[in-house]
Structure 1
């Protein structure tokens, strides 16, 4: 029952599904019946065994994306003097939630998420540079939630969907599967 509640809290199943599965759990008579109730749930930590992706802006900046890359469960971005950009628009993400620790420092951090993805910025300290959230709350089913933590530092942290130029570039250069 705890696994089912956790899955609902993390958005891996909706609350209607939770109620149905909890009812089945309470009437189950064998361990096999109980195991069947969680066997199809996506695991929240399927990429959790991988080390976090650490990006440090340093003097010249750093970026990840917009090409194909596999998203780990934890991303750490330090803006440094050169800044950091994390672009998830073509990323392959099998997780329901990704924690992004962003530290704006001197040059800032920019996080670009595809349309349909959502960001939770409640864990961010805006610092002097602030936090700019230009995302929409319209999360599509099955898409990840980017959970932001960290501090805006002096330069700030921006989370947004692709801008016009990035959309044009994505459209003119479609992803190959």
Structure 2
């Protein structure tokens, strides 16, 4: 028998190519209407951008329509209290569903470990501080493609820091500023793996 060639490995889908939902399109439509009301774009340009927004299929197409506009106010998110996650004995996680992101997240891994997924959130903050302590079992942070991270304020500790993210940052996305210490087990920050991407693609199709 002739050996069959191996199937090609699926190409990871950048977040800009992920399918946009009705809510994603409506958020951009609202931002465009606010920009027109403030005199930032004229009515002809508003009509053109609204038409493109309503027919956009991906996050990247939507991002282009608002790339030259200031981000909308995010006072509600900025006023949220810090989110504190404690792994304790059994572990703790936030996500991978939708949740409201405050400006400050604190994670203590403890014995059970902590996982934080930003993959399905809508965050209008310019910056989110994630204070992570790897302690005994470690902290894992997963951010979408197109989000960037600054790890210069992180002490690696014995367990170290593994930054598997790319520096490519899409307009309108927050910077994750990582602080804290790797502790014994370390801290990992990365983009979604293949299994997580498949789940994200399935959720986007159902939106």
Q: TM-score, normalised by structure 2?
A: 0.63
The counterpart of 1:105, out of the listed 135, 141, 146, is 135
Alignment length (residue pairs): 138
Aligned mates of 2:109, 2:205 — CA distance in 1: 28
* Contact 1:44–1:97 (Cα < 8 Å) also in 2: no
Larger fraction in strand? 1
The counterpart of 2:155, out of the listed 125, 149, 154, is 125
Q: Are 1:60 and 2:90 matched, yes or no?
A: yes
CA offsets 1:85-141 (integer angstroms, 9 cap, x no match): 000000121101000000000000000000000010010000000000000000011
Aligned mates of 2:92, 2:135 — CA distance in 1: 13
Larger fraction in helix? 2
Aligned mates of 1:128, 1:45 — CA distance in 2: 38
Aligned mates of 2:200, 2:108 — CA distance in 1: 26
Using a 3 Å threshold, how does the CA distance of structure 1 residues 44 and 70 change in structure 2: closer, same or farther? closer
Q: Are 1:171 and 2:201 matched, yes or no?
A: yes
Q: TM-score, normalised by structure 1?
A: 0.74
* Contact 1:103–1:109 (Cα < 8 Å) also in 2: yes
The counterpart of 1:75, out of the listed 98, 102, 105, is 105
Gaps of 5+ in 2: 1-69
What does 1:136-155 align with in structure 2 at a 5 Å threshold? 136-155=166-185
Runs (4+) of structure 1 exceeding 6 A deviation are none
3-state SS, counterpart of residue 89 of structure 1: coil
Gaps of 5+ in 1: 1-39
Aligned mates of 1:144, 1:41 — CA distance in 2: 11
Task: Let me know the Cα RMSD of the aligned residues.
Answer: 1.6
* Residue 36 of structure 1: aligned partner: none
* Residue 119 of structure 2: aligned partner: 89
3-state SS, counterpart of residue 168 of structure 2: coil
Q: CA deviation at 1:47?
A: 2.0
Q: CA deviation at 1:70?
A: 1.0
Q: CA deviation at 1:175?
A: 7.0
